[in-house]
A and B are shown apart, each in its own frame.
Chain A
């Protein structure tokens, strides 16, 4: 199966700082990656769709200037939480879709997630 990694797995930062989270597809190329946020005991909420070489598509209610997404290559997408505040504390998960290299296009491959705590 396809492997998606995220770095860091856990980060604690002070309010007002920016945090960058990396999402990498390790053994396949992903033209499209997705960023989700999940609060404790809640569902996954899609934040944005990250497209290689173009601007990300943000879901309604997600501030694009606060959550900067860059998809610089076919294997790397980054999410930067700018001027983080305690309410941004959450579990951030990226995923990549299949449909390439024989992988089922019906399946999403999720990274292990990044737990962000803003003090």
Chain B
């Protein structure tokens, strides 16, 4: 089975940088994904780490350390629209949909 831990809530101000951590315990691990979900909406894919290291996509970066069973999502230059829930998800194999999601982190960006 899989279990993931991430903080339940994070608050930051506009323009700041915030890091959302995710630790996992898994019986099988292929990669770590991050998704953003606004209230009432569907999740949208942000990034994926299959190998150790940092992946950068615009203002968002994601990091993975397989040896530490740890990853994080880094959001820079925060904007009000970044207020949302962020989920890390462990992918179990080559099937990208076979993922176990964490409980999500609610990010609140304040002016």
Contact = CB atoms under 8 A, between A and B. Distances in A.
A40 to B, nearest CB: 10
Contacts of A113: 41-42
Interface stretch (A13-21, A68-76, A79-87, A98-106): A98-106
B32 to A, nearest CB: 10
Contact of B97 (A34, A42, A111, A112): A34
A45 B101 CA distance: 7
Nearest to B104: A43
Contacts of B33: 106, 108
- Categorize the interface residue count of chain A: 20 to 34
Nearest to A98: B96
A99 B103 CA distance: 27
Contacts of A98: 96
A34 B94 CA distance: 14
A44 B45 contact: no
A97 interface: yes
B42 A49 contact: no
Chain A interface, DSSP helix/strand/loop, else mixed: strand
A110 B101 contact: no
Nearest to B50: A106
Interface residues of B, number: 22
Given A44-B43, A44-B87, A93-B42, A106 B96 contact: yes
Contacts of B97: 32-34, 46, 49, 95-97, 108
B103 A111 contact: no
B103 A42 contact: yes
- Find the residue from B43, B48, B87, B103 having the highest chain A CB count within 10 A: B43
Interface of A: 32-34, 42-46, 49, 93, 95-99, 104-113
Interface of B: 31, 33, 41-45, 48, 50, 87, 91, 94-104
22 contacts: A34-B98, A42-B104, A43-B87, A43-B101, A43-B102, A44-B43, A44-B87, A46-B98, A49-B97, A49-B98, A93-B42, A96-B97, A97-B96, A98-B96, A106-B33, A107-B45, A108-B33, A108-B45, A110-B43, A110-B45, A112-B42, A113-B41
